[in-house]
Chain A
């Protein structure tokens, strides 16, 4: 058995550990970890839209090499690759 990679539930499981490129910075939004505790979520934190190559996400992906999936991820859930 292999444990799930660590991560907040709002980082979809299928994308954890994958390397992508920042497509845009969406702005700053309330921290969902704090909102879940009925707190304000302030100060807001930077949210990124990260673009992943499908072939990097699914090794057996059936489709074009250029196909991508884009996911919104908060800055503090990302690591520099």
Chain B
């Protein structure tokens, strides 16, 4: 609420609905204000830096990378990242294969590792066109995939969540994990950009 200080703004429809629902749930003893605060706090802590940490580890540790590709959820536990209920599938970009993620049905997204999805990810435009004409959509993001590279689009329609493991950029030999992680931007883990 700190962001709103100093200015009076009427609540929007959804803000009003949230307040009403929350107050009712608290009043009825179903949840507590503390639980809500904790959840909001946790949501704020989930940022793409978490995903970048996973990618950087996979770049420097081949054993970890193998485990990550085999069972993403379990490998993330090694880094202290809990992915409750849903299963993480990590898909690896190679010189032959480029992966990209979409959810055509709604906006499923690996929130635990990437935080809140960007608006374009939830847009009808991206969701409908990413499966239909991925090469054109990627070009609009500034990513030209050569014709000989296979494109694999992953539609998150059920219980899996996907994370793209981008290729490690050339010229980063000997870099520390921390320095590598700084190259890994959110969009490269969705598959619509490269690390930079």
Contact = CB atoms under 8 A, between A and B. Distances in A.
B155 A71 contact: yes
A63 B134 contact: yes
B105 interface: yes
B153 A26 contact: no
Interface string A16-58: 0000000000110100100000000000000101000010011
Contacts of A10: 105, 157-158
A4 interface: no
Contacts of A61: 133
A12 B105 contact: yes
Contacts of A14: 104, 131-132
Nearest to B162: A70
B87 A71 contact: no
B155 A47 contact: no
B138 to A, nearest CB: 10
Given A26-B89, A27-B159, A70-B155, 20 more contacts: A10-B157, A11-B157, A14-B104, A14-B132, A47-B160, A54-B151, A63-B134, A63-B135, A63-B151, A67-B152, A67-B153, A68-B150, A68-B151, A68-B153, A69-B131, A69-B152, A69-B155, A70-B153, A72-B156, A72-B158
Interface residues of A, number: 27
A62 B147 CA distance: 10
Contacts, number: 75
Contacts of B160: 26, 47, 49, 72
B75 to A, nearest CB: 16
Contacts of B148: 64
A69 B130 CA distance: 10
B158 A47 contact: yes
B57 interface: no
Contact of B150 (A9, A27, A67): A67
Contacts of B149: 64
